[in-house]
Structure 1
Amino acid sequence: MLQAAGVGAGDEVIVPAYGNAEVAEAVVRAGAAPVFADIDPDTYCIDPSHVVDCVTERTAAVVAVHRFGHKADVARLQEVGQKHGLLVLEQGETEKPFREVAQRQAHAAYLSGRLNGVRTPAGGAGHSYQQYVVRVPGNGRPDRDAFARVLRGKGVDCSVPVKTPVHRMPAFRRDVVLPETERAADETLALPVDAHMSRRQLQRLVTTCNALGGLLQPAF
């Protein structure tokens, strides 16, 4: 899409640093330079306010990446794009069948109403819960990793969704300040919310997580 739009050498493209490297890699393949923007802490998608701060005379485009089932604020990004003459592109997530999405949403509602000691997802009507991502409060990455190890030891299949922000990867290292991106990378943990999970499995997940709540600071 970047190449088709004429983006190339000498251009800059604003992309989120929270996520995998494929968007930044696509920018480089087009001959342009990726510029990393911070995220909204609730949706984990690129923050339109910070995009404005990243715009320079070389900026040609901004890429909105929908994350974990949250939709990026494309409307606000388009307003920014119109004001500054930028192309706004979207990278979506693979759409799931309606029944599967509805089941995930039901599972997510069950978990969000019962989990303690972690910050549950912000939710919202449009959230499809491609992943159910919580925040583990405390001392950032050490506490999150310790929490995850205990859960795995008890048979809970959890994962760290973003281990290293793109702007910290050797190929794209930038000296930029992205506090929400850094905080999310240190605190987030994806818990299972697959459509096929039974109520008993969900109850066991809640019981296992809540048993660790006393070791953590209260949810915020």
Structure 2
Amino acid sequence: MLRAAGVGVGDEVVVPAFGNVEVAEAVTQVGALPVFADIDPVTYCLDASVVEQALTARTVAVVVVHRFGRSADMGRLHALGRRHGLLVLEQGESEVPYDETAQRRERAAYLDTKLRGVWTPDGGDGHTYQQYVVRVPGNGRPDRDAFARAIRARGVDCRVPVKTPVHRLPEYRRCVSLPETERAAEETLALPVDASLTRREMQRVVSVCNALGGPIAVGSTALFGV
């Protein structure tokens, strides 16, 4: 899409650093420079106000990536594109059948009401919960990794959704301030909400997480309601 739009050498394209490297790679493959902008801490997608601050005379496009089943604020981003004459491209996620989405939402709603000691995701408009991503607050250092090891040891599957933001990778390392991206990379953890999970398995997820969430999340009790 970038090549078809005429994006090339000397151009700049604003992209997120929170996520996979493929978007930045696509920009460099057409000869343009990826410029990293910070994310909205609720949606984990590009924050339109931060994108606007990252624009220069060479910016020709913005690539928006939807995350975890939650969509970016495309109304604001398209308005930004019109205002500055920019191409706004979207990278979506793989489609999930309606029945499976409904079951994921049901499991997500259960976790929303039962989990303690972690920050549950904001459901937002049309969230499909491709991943159910919580935040495990740190204590001056990330406690997310200790939390993940502990619940895995008790039989609960989980994964770190973004291990290293793109702007930290050697080939894209930049001196750029992305505080929300950094914080999300240190605190986020995806818990299971697969449609195949039984109620007993969901109860197990809750009991294991709640047994650990409070003690490990010491220091952020006021914000996270422990």
> Is the TM value for this pair above 0.5?
yes
Please report how far the alpha carbon of residue 141 of structure 1 lies from its aligned counterpart in structure 2 after TM superposition: 5.4
Where does residue 49 of structure 2 map in the other structure? 49
Where does residue 125 of structure 1 map in the other structure? 125
Where does residue 108 of structure 1 map in the other structure? 108
Please report how far the alpha carbon of residue 125 of structure 1 lies from its aligned counterpart in structure 2 after TM superposition: 3.3
Matches within 5 A, 1:10-89: 10-89=10-89
SS in 2 for 1:103: helix
Is 1:194 aligned with 2:182? Answer: no
Cα–Cα, structure 1 residues 111 and 129, in superposed 2: closer, same or farther, change >3 Å? Answer: same
Is 1:97 aligned with 2:121? Answer: no
Cα–Cα, structure 1 residues 106 and 183, in superposed 2: closer, same or farther, change >3 Å? Answer: same
Please report how far the alpha carbon of residue 75 of structure 1 lies from its aligned counterpart in structure 2 after TM superposition: 1.2
TM-score for the superposition, normalised by structure 2: 0.95
Give, as a single letter, the amino acid of the residue that structure 1 aligns with 2:101.
Answer: V
Please report how far the alpha carbon of residue 72 of structure 1 lies from its aligned counterpart in structure 2 after TM superposition: 0.9
Give, as a single letter, the amino acid of the residue that structure 2 aligns with 1:58.
Answer: R
8 Å Cα contact 1:140/1:186 also seen in 2: no
Comparing 135-144 with 203-212, greater Cα deviation is found at 135-144
8 Å Cα contact 2:41/2:184 also seen in 1: yes
Please report how far the alpha carbon of residue 214 of structure 1 lies from its aligned counterpart in structure 2 after TM superposition: 2.9
Q: State the 4+ residue runs in structure 1 displaced beyond 4 angstroms.
A: none
Residues in 2 aligned to 1:59 and 1:140: alpha-carbon distance in whole angstroms: 36
8 Å Cα contact 2:166/2:172 also seen in 1: yes
Give, as a single letter, the amino acid of the residue that structure 1 aligns with 2:75.
Answer: A
Comparing 135-144 with 29-38, greater Cα deviation is found at 135-144
Where does residue 185 of structure 1 map in the other structure? 185
Residues in 1 aligned to 2:39 and 2:92: alpha-carbon distance in whole angstroms: 16
Residues in 1 aligned to 2:141 and 2:193: alpha-carbon distance in whole angstroms: 22
SS in 1 for 2:88: strand
Where does residue 204 of structure 1 map in the other structure? 204
- Percentage identity across paired residues of the two chains: 68
Where does residue 145 of structure 1 map in the other structure? 145
- Give CA-to-partner distance per residue, 1:56-93, whole Å, 9 cap, x none: 00000001100000001111111111111100000000
- Structure 2: unaligned runs, 5 residues or longer: none
Residues in 2 aligned to 1:38 and 1:23: alpha-carbon distance in whole angstroms: 15
8 Å Cα contact 1:137/1:187 also seen in 2: yes
Residues in 2 aligned to 1:136 and 1:107: alpha-carbon distance in whole angstroms: 19
- Structure 1: unaligned runs, 5 residues or longer: none
Residues in 1 aligned to 2:154 and 2:140: alpha-carbon distance in whole angstroms: 22
Residues in 1 aligned to 2:67 and 2:8: alpha-carbon distance in whole angstroms: 26
TM-score for the superposition, normalised by structure 1: 0.98
- Give CA-to-partner distance per residue, 1:137-164, whole Å, 9 cap, x none: 1326531100000011001110100011
Give, as a single letter, the amino acid of the residue that structure 1 aligns with 2:157.
Answer: D
Cα–Cα, structure 1 residues 5 and 144, in superposed 2: closer, same or farther, change >3 Å? Answer: same
Where does residue 159 of structure 2 map in the other structure? 159
Give, as a single letter, the amino acid of the residue that structure 1 aligns with 2:197.
Answer: M
SS in 2 for 1:6: coil
8 Å Cα contact 2:48/2:76 also seen in 1: yes
Cα–Cα, structure 1 residues 96 and 188, in superposed 2: closer, same or farther, change >3 Å? Answer: same
Residues in 1 aligned to 2:79 and 2:125: alpha-carbon distance in whole angstroms: 23
